[in-house]
Chains A and B, each alone.
Chain A
Amino acid sequence: MDVAELARVHVERRGVLDEAIASLTERPGRTLLTGLGTVLGVGVLVAVLGLTATASSQIDSAFTALSATEVTITQSSDPVATRSMAFPADFETRVRRIAGVVDAGLSWQIPAEVAPVDASPVPGAEGLRPSGNVVAASPGALRVAQAHVRMGRLYDDFAQACRARVVVIGPVLADDLGVASLSGHPALTIAGISFPIIGVLSDAARHPELLDDLIVPSSTARSIWGDPSAGSPATGWVSVRKGAGNVVADQLVAAVAPTHPDDFQVTAPPDPRRLRGAVNSSLQSLFLLLAGVCLLVGMVGIANTTFVSVIERLGEIGLRRAYGARRIHIAAQFLCEATVIGFVGGLVGALLGLGVVVGTAITHHWTAVLPSYVVVAGPVVGAATALVAAVYPALRAARIEPITALRVGAS
């Protein structure tokens, strides 16, 4: 037998894989516990990526529908003292000319000491002093707020033009006052002036704070109490088409006050993509860290178990070496076992993570969103981490001399 012939022994790769699987299946309990770390790590990883993708999808569809389609413009506090009403009288007309604007309106709060409310005219509410604020709002502001009534009606542009002395109240106040119907023409006294209640709100999706208020036409408020005070500056509410928020925000000040732009502050809607990115980033960085820790724990577990396995199987290592196994075959045996554990653990973890994402989405009536590569990558990540974890113990096993392994293994 020459050297060339000696080198010609070919060890079947499938045989090594079969041996690895056989070694794992003969100790199912240990194999299960060894793979648990990988299951948790990959499971958390898939769940995190899936949940953030699913949550982002919800932010896209729900958030943009309301918040991302409104721009607000407020008076700066300083100029109010000198120019009590910095908003031009034709504010709404100017703003509606901007491309992308759907509607616009002004709103401000009337201080309680200026406009005390007395509910005495309402039958059964004599002497009651409602806690809600009196708010001046133009009909356009009510439309921007997406205000709807459960009874009666909202005042319109005609009432605004006529400076009608009418009031729309919120549902809580209506219940407190016992206003179940408007057929008796109930009225409230505000600053000694009678204001018939013409409507009771049911909803104000964009400005739910209105549900606690008493709302009067802004023209009426101005005629009775004057322009907005320094302590309660006016706010312009502008509803815009989806995606037009930032463009409108950029043009708003120039349209409203081209000569004194510093008197106003514009609040643009948050960019949904930026918001989604922020949510993704904060959630992902937190949970990816958690997933990383789980994977690390899994790696340590696999490394530890492989070490113990090497010590327990010294006799087997010695036998394999005696039967012609080279060092690389011994290392391959342990690496193969760890990789199989990692792959199966990663697969199970990916399926569990997928289950968490789908379960959460079903519970919240969301649409589950999970990039397919995440599920496919689960077993690969599991196998790779397990492989890395087993490198050192596998090399240690390979370095053991056959005679040492046989002697220690037999003792």
Chain B
Amino acid sequence: MSTSTSEVAGGSAYELDGVGKVYGAGRGEAPFAALQDVSVRIPAGAFTTVVGPSGSGKSTLLALLGLLDQPSSGCVTIAGRATDRMREKDRCVMRARQLAFVFQAFHLMPHRTVLDNVMLGGLYRGLDRSQRRDQAWAQLARVGLTAKAANRAATLSGGERQRIAIARSLLGSPQILLCDEPTGNLDTTNGTAVVSLLTELSDSGLTVVLVTHDEHIAAMGDHRLSVLDGRVSGDGCG
């Protein structure tokens, strides 16, 4: 992988140019514009928060940033590479190589061990079994959960599950971590601990984009974007 964290640091992790997302268009339903004409730059290596009320379009924005969905208009550029004409296969590879995700619902496999859950993060990133195992142990140490490696995920608390999800996302050394309401299912103490962990990761050079509706958490980022009725404002908006 030629694009390292240091390469994108100082530059832009994302550049969005006139991005819009319309749902229901062409299907006989009334079209709904979830995002409209978003032009924004997200700096590399920084902790950017995206805040807005429910239904404002912030999760849609995160899905476009994560190449999980395609914009109806405009272009998303990641680390200098335009993605609007990218093939499905290349989008998958870019997700595997550069992007990582943490979700509100954790998406852990409850009957598997913590170690197995973390190792899954490297399967589609080109790591062999021993590399995945080594990196999983390293990331578990990073989030302070090596003692729980053999436990089934279902036995963990909410805060622990989210830390496991973060550890899983870090296998394969991604450059960008996209977090969709990672504290949404956590109490204040665990939520704060998770944001602190994300701040540490950002300080180590990882680009972190965190979507939240919590103003307090939004204030903890280096940069802040506000989403309201599909329009984005804040630092870096064009």
Chain A residues, CB < 8 A from B126: 8-11
How far is it, in angstroms, between the C-alpha of A327 and the C-alpha of B121 when the chains are bound?
Answer: 17
B81 touching A324 by the CB < 8 A rule? no
Chain B interface SS verdict (over half): mixed
12 pairs from A and B in contact (CB 8 Å cutoff):
A1-B81, A6-B90, A8-B126, A9-B125, A15-B128, A16-B123, A316-B109, A319-B107, A323-B96, A323-B125, A324-B92, A324-B95
Q: B112: CB under 8 A from chain A?
A: yes
Given contacts A9-B93, A406-B68, contact A1 B98 (CB under 8 A): yes
Chain B residues, CB < 8 A from A14: 129
* Interchain nearest-CB distance for A13 vs B (Å): 11
Chain B residues, CB < 8 A from A316: 107, 109
* Interchain nearest-CB distance for B57 vs A (Å): 13
B104 touching A323 by the CB < 8 A rule? no
18 additional contacts, CB 8 Å, given A8-B126, A11-B124, A319-B103? A1-B2, A5-B2, A7-B90, A9-B96, A9-B125, A12-B129, A318-B107, A319-B101, A320-B123, A320-B124, A321-B92, A322-B95, A323-B95, A323-B100, A324-B92, A324-B125, A409-B105, A410-B105
How far is it, in angstroms, between the C-alpha of A3 and the C-alpha of B86 when the chains are bound?
Answer: 9
Given contacts A1-B97, A22-B112, A322-B68, contact A315 B107 (CB under 8 A): yes
Tell me the chain B residues, 86-133 only, with Cβ under 8 Å from chain A.
88-90, 92-101, 103-105, 107, 109, 111-112, 116, 120-121, 123-129, 132
In the complex formed, the residue of B with least CB distance to A6 is: B93
Chain B residues, CB < 8 A from A18: 129
A410 touching B92 by the CB < 8 A rule? no
Chain A residues, CB < 8 A from B104: 410
B188-225 contact mask (Cβ, 8 Å, vs A): 1 or 0 = 00000000000000000000000000000000000000
Given contacts A6-B90, A7-B89, A27-B111, contact A329 B1 (CB under 8 A): no
B93 touching A321 by the CB < 8 A rule? no
Chain A residues, CB < 8 A from B2: 1, 5
Q: Which residues of A contact B (CB under 8 A)?
A: 1, 3, 5-12, 14-16, 18-19, 22, 26-27, 315-316, 318-327, 329, 401-403, 406, 409-410
How far is it, in angstroms, between the C-alpha of A329 and the C-alpha of B127 when the chains are bound?
Answer: 15
In the complex formed, the residue of A with least CB distance to B111 is: A26
B3 touching A1 by the CB < 8 A rule? yes
A12 touching B92 by the CB < 8 A rule? no
B20-56 contact mask (Cβ, 8 Å, vs A): 1 or 0 = 0000000000000000000000000000000000000
How far is it, in angstroms, between the C-alpha of A323 and the C-alpha of B171 when the chains are bound?
Answer: 10
Chain B residues, CB < 8 A from A7: 89-90, 93
Chain A residues, CB < 8 A from B187: none
A324 touching B96 by the CB < 8 A rule? yes
How far is it, in angstroms, between the C-alpha of A320 and the C-alpha of B89 when the chains are bound?
Answer: 14
A325 touching B124 by the CB < 8 A rule? yes
In the complex formed, the residue of A with least CB distance to B96 is: A324
Q: B69: CB under 8 A from chain A?
A: yes
Given contacts A6-B97, A26-B112, contact A323 B123 (CB under 8 A): yes
Chain B residues, CB < 8 A from A402: 68-69
Chain B residues, CB < 8 A from A318: 107
Residue of B95, B112, B127, B129 with most chain A CB atoms under a 10 A cut-off? B95
